[in-house]
Amino acid sequence: MIEFNLDRGSGVSTYLQLVHQVKQALRLGTLRPGDQLPTAREVVESLAINPNTVLKAYRELEREGLVEGRPGMGTFVRQGIAGATLAEHTRLRRGLEAWVREARAAGLDQEDLRALFAVVLSDAAKEGVA
């Protein structure tokens, strides 16, 4: 089961935050095919948001083929998001942690790290296109 939380100051619309959190859980393997998403009532009872917002997020996930609504039963995960397996995930995370320690030792602060990571990421994306 996934528990949603909201960043009310983020400027990202609430329904998108819900969509992103489900996708993130699918990537991390905390949500797997067959798992049930909380009902709209359960979500609004914990977050105090409009139920239509939850339904909109679930419709979007359904449109992307990630979940399916089963009438009278609820919304279930149809498929995970193809990506690194959990084992690879752990290995990559270790590598990244080592890189962060190294960068810290070299005197980079949090913001430098983020900037550097964002630049490398966007360069990689450009190369991927080219």
Partner 1 sequence: MRPAMEATGLGVRYRRTWVLRDCSLSVPAGRVAALVGPNGAGKTTLMHAAVGLLKPALGSVRVAGEVAFVAQDKPLYESFTVAQMLAFGRRMNTRWDAAVAADRLAGLGIALERKVSGLSGGQRAQVAVTLALASRPDLLVLDEPLANLDPLARHDVMRSIMAEVAGRELTVLLSSHVVSDLEETCDWLVVLNGGRLQVSGDIEELLDGHLVLTGPDGVPAAGTRVVSASRTGRQVSMLVRGAPPLDPRWRARRPGLEELVMGYLRSPESAVLPHLAGVDA
Which residues of the chain form beta strands (DSSP E)? 67-70, 74-77
Burial class (CB in 10 A: 0-12, 13-18, 19+), 16: middle
Tell me how far, at minimum, the Cβ of 14 lies from partner 1, in Å: 6
Q: Which of helix, strand or coil describes residue 107? A: coil
Contact 67, 38 (CB under 8 A): no
- Decide whether 41 or 104 has the Cβ nearer to partner 1: 41
Tell me how far, at minimum, the Cβ of 57 lies from partner 1, in Å: 13
Tell me how far, at minimum, the Cβ of 115 lies from partner 1, in Å: 22
- Decide whether 26 or 75 has the Cβ nearer to partner 1: 75
Interacting residue ranges for partner 1, rule: CB under 8 A = 6, 8, 14, 39-41, 44-54
- 57 Cβ neighbours under 8 A, 6+ residues apart: 15, 16, 18, 19, 22
Tell me how far, at minimum, the Cβ of 35 lies from partner 1, in Å: 20
- Decide whether 15 or 66 has the Cβ nearer to partner 1: 15
- Decide whether 47 or 67 has the Cβ nearer to partner 1: 47
